[in-house]
Amino acid sequence: MSQDLNVVALVGRLTRNCDMRYTNSGFAICSFTLAVNRCRKQQDGTWQDQASFFDCSYFGKAAEGVSPYLQKGQQVSIQGSLEQQNWEKDGQKRSKIVVMVNSLGLIGSSQNQQNNSSNQQTYQRQQNTQSYRQNNSQAQYQQPKPASQMVAPENFEDDSVPF
């Protein structure tokens, strides 16, 4: 019997605020759509961004905890698996692929929050960077010795190697 693999890892931005629902038994279901950009070279040599959109579902207490932060524009990383959902509507069979999220990480703030951030944070980052550069510009770095100049231990026995 062969072993199949169904693993997905994506980094992208939410296209809308998440939709939090609950089953009759009180189990949390958080649904959202993730836009993932990739850059493609066109025939004329220019580069153009193209987006792919993925429907995602996140479940349980973890989904409840993170749902207030899943706002439109929020960048997240997700890991999970693909699941095909099938249904019938007006006599026609339909299906779609959904990412079933196992883990989710908030990467940065949403684009709206980034645009509204204060200049003080930017100024503080610039000050920290300048301070770091000044402190490290004085540092003396030693190059490692080439292997030909390294000295082997004198009392080396094969039995002393742990493997």
Q: Is residue 2 part of a domain?
A: no
**Rounded Cα gap, residues 76 and 110, in angstroms:** 9
Whether residue 70 is contained in a domain is answered as yes
Establish if 124 belongs to a structural domain: no
At 75-120, the pLDDT tens digits run 999 999 999 999 999 999 999 999 999 999 999 765 555 554 433 3
- C-alpha neighbours within 13 Å on the C-beta side of residue 145: 5
The pLDDT value recorded for residue 152 is 56
Distance (Å, whole) CA 80 – CA 100: 5
User: How buried is 56 (Cβ within 10 angstroms: 0-12 exposed, 13-18 middle, 19+ buried)?
Assistant: buried
Give me the residues paired with residue 39 across strands. Answer: 49
- According to DSSP H, which parts of the chain are helical? 60-66, 111-115, 119-137
Domain-located, residue 151 = no
pTM attached to this predicted model: 0.64
* Count of the separate structural domains present in the chain: 1
Q: Mean per-residue pLDDT for 57-78?
A: 93
58 within domain boundaries: yes
pLDDT at 119: 38
Domain of residue 88: give its range. Answer: 8-41+48-111
Provide the CATH number for the domain around residue 94.
2.40.50.140
